[in-house]
């Protein structure tokens, strides 16, 4: 039978020996777990008593810290007894220091993970040699390093290191898979990766691109829209040029050949249409604007653009106020305008509206109506709102 102690620190902390398991799911004192985790994490070092005392009692005073440490070490050894390992010296004491007994056979997921990533990065390897290393490393990374210790400085530092290593692994492996055309596997990897790091934009880019190239165009567009909404709402950030260029490429993709016009018409119909203005992506708004500009050149009809700008005046949580205000303004614009009017989010704090077949005076009335309704409906948000108007310039054509 397997005579090795298997230790996990990625996604959880647990030790397993011949079917016996102890893990941080056990509701014991946090200090006991911290002591054990620290000794395992720095298994290649001897940790001085003073270092352990500073680690465990940094925010509190102990009348007799050395005896308190001895008591805690005894409790840690009692915890390790749950493994039923024949050795009674999994934690060793040398002079004035303690350490994990590295002479006893064990494997540690963080060590194996890092070793696999380092080996896979060797430039002399072929894709065929590198791929199984990537797969093994992916299998080992079960989540954040010691997630229950995410407030401890020493653990946060290591968690950041392993997360960065994992992120680079995802980038590199997805590039390899893309060269092979294995986009379904890229989707699987990225779906897992965004669970561990939901705010890495490049992983979202890889996921959207893989969905698109694997024939899941609608899903790729839905994912793009969810991602830009998340970044707007969470950080007040616009999507990168890389991501918007990918979106442009996706929406320009031609549909498959279809001979039944009824099917095409059904696909074109707006599902669950509401009697409100039409909100679209800015790239779609650009195309609609160009169509209106061409029509205006022929018909002479008047079309105006209205730019609505919101500025947070909050001293605290400015991004949160602006996010809530933008969501509120989106609803206000949609319900105030006609169902044939079009608007889009232009930036982190602006909406652009197209108002066809109307006059400057009517546009002013519409702008004031939007501001008034927004002010009536907004839930105590510290924002200032303004709007500007500009007459559309009809397209000019080169002979």
- End of a domain among 74, 108, 142? 108
On whether both 233 and 192 belong to a single domain, the answer is yes
- End of a domain among 59, 75, 108? 108
Please identify which residue in the block is written with the tokens 């990065």. Answer: 121
User: Which pLDDT belongs to residue 268?
Assistant: 62
What residue numbers bound the domain in which 379 lies? 276-391
Burial class of 25 by CB neighbour count within 10 A (0 to 12, 13 to 18, 19+): exposed
User: Which pLDDT belongs to residue 381?
Assistant: 78
User: Which pLDDT belongs to residue 179?
Assistant: 95
Q: Which strand ranges, in their side-by-side order, compose the sheet holding 303-312?
A: 278-280, 342-347, 350-356, 303-312, 383-391
On whether both 116 and 203 belong to a single domain, the answer is yes
Residue 253 lies in a domain: no
pLDDT, mean over the chain: 87
- In contact, 36 and 100? CB cutoff 8 Å: no
Confidence of residue 265 (pLDDT cuts 50, 70, 90): low
User: Which pLDDT belongs to residue 98?
Assistant: 93
The number of domains in the chain is 3
* Region 87-93 average pLDDT: 87
- End of a domain among 108, 128, 153? 108
Residue 312 lies in a domain: yes
Confidence of residue 399 (pLDDT cuts 50, 70, 90): very low
Residue 270 lies in a domain: no
Confidence of residue 396 (pLDDT cuts 50, 70, 90): low
Distance CA 97, CA 93 (A): 6
- HEC profile for 84-143? CCCCCCCEEEECCEEEECCCCCEEEHHHHHHHHHHHHCCCCCCHHHHHHHHHHHHHHCCC
On whether both 338 and 306 belong to a single domain, the answer is yes
On whether both 115 and 78 belong to a single domain, the answer is no
- In contact, 379 and 283? CB cutoff 8 Å: no
What is the percentage of the chain residues whose pLDDT exceeds 70?
Answer: 91
* Region 250-258 average pLDDT: 60
Higher pLDDT, residue 318 or 309: 309
Which of 9-18, 275-284, 312-321, 326-335 bottoms out in mean pLDDT, i.e. has the lowest? 312-321
Confidence of residue 169 (pLDDT cuts 50, 70, 90): very high
Query: pLDDT tens for residues 105-149?
Result: 999 999 999 999 999 999 999 999 999 999 999 999 999 999 988
Distance CA 344, CA 337 (A): 13
The CATH number of the domain holding residue 175 is 1.25.40.10
User: Which pLDDT belongs to residue 378?
Assistant: 72
User: Which pLDDT belongs to residue 66?
Assistant: 87
pTM higher than 0.75: no
Q: Residue 5 forms beta bridges with which residues? A: 106
């Amino acid at each position: 039978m397997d005579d090795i102690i298997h230790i996990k620190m990625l996604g959880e902390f647990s030790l397993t020996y011949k079917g016996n398991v102890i893990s941080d799911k056990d509701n014991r004192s946090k200090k006991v777990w911290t002591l054990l985790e620290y000794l395992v994490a720095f298994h290649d070092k001897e940790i001085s008593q003073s270092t352990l005392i500073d680690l465990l009692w940094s925010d509190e005073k102990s009348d007799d810290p050395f005896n308190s440490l001895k008591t805690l070490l005894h409790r840690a050894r009692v915890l390790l007894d749950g493994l039923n390992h024949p050795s009674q010296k999994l934690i060793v004491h040398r002079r004035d220091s303690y350490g994990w007994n590295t002479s006893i056979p064990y494997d540690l997921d963080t060590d194996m993970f890092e070793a696999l990533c380092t080996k896979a990065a060797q430039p002399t390897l072929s894709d065929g040699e590198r791929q199984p290393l990537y797969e093994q490393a992916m299998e080992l990374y079960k989540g954040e390093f010691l997630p229950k210790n995410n407030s401890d400085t020493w653990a946060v530092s290591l968690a950041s290191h392993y997360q960065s290593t994992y992120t680079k692994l995802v980038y590199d492996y997805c590039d390899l898979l893309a060269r092979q055309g294995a986009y379904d596997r890229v989707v699987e990897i990225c779906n897992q990766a965004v669970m561990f790091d939901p705010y890495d934009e490049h992983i979202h880019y890889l996921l959207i691109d893989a969905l698109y190239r694997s024939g899941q165009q609608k899903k790729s567009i839905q994912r793009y829209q969810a991602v830009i909404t998340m970044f707007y709402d969470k950080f007040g950030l616009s999507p990168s040029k890389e991501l918007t260029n990918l979106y442009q490429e996706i929406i320009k993709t031609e549909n498959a050949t279809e001979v039944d016009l009824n099917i095409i018409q059904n696909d074109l119909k707006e599902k669950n249409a509401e009697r409100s203005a039409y909100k679209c992506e800015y790239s779609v708004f650009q195309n609609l604007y160009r169509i209106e500009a061409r029509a205006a050149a022929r018909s002479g009809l008047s079309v105006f653009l209205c730019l609505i700008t919101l500025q947070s005046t909050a001293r605290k949580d400015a991004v949160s106020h602006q996010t809530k205000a933008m969501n509120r303004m989106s609803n206000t614009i949609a319900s105030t305008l006609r169902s044939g009017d079009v608007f889009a989010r232009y930036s982190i704090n602006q909406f652009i509206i197209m108002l066809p077949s109307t006059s400057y005076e009517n546009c002013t009335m519409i702008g004031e109506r939007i501001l008034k309704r927004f002010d009536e409906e907004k839930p105590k948000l510290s924002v200032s709102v303004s709007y500007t108007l500009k007459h559309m310039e009809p397209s000019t054509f080169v002979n």
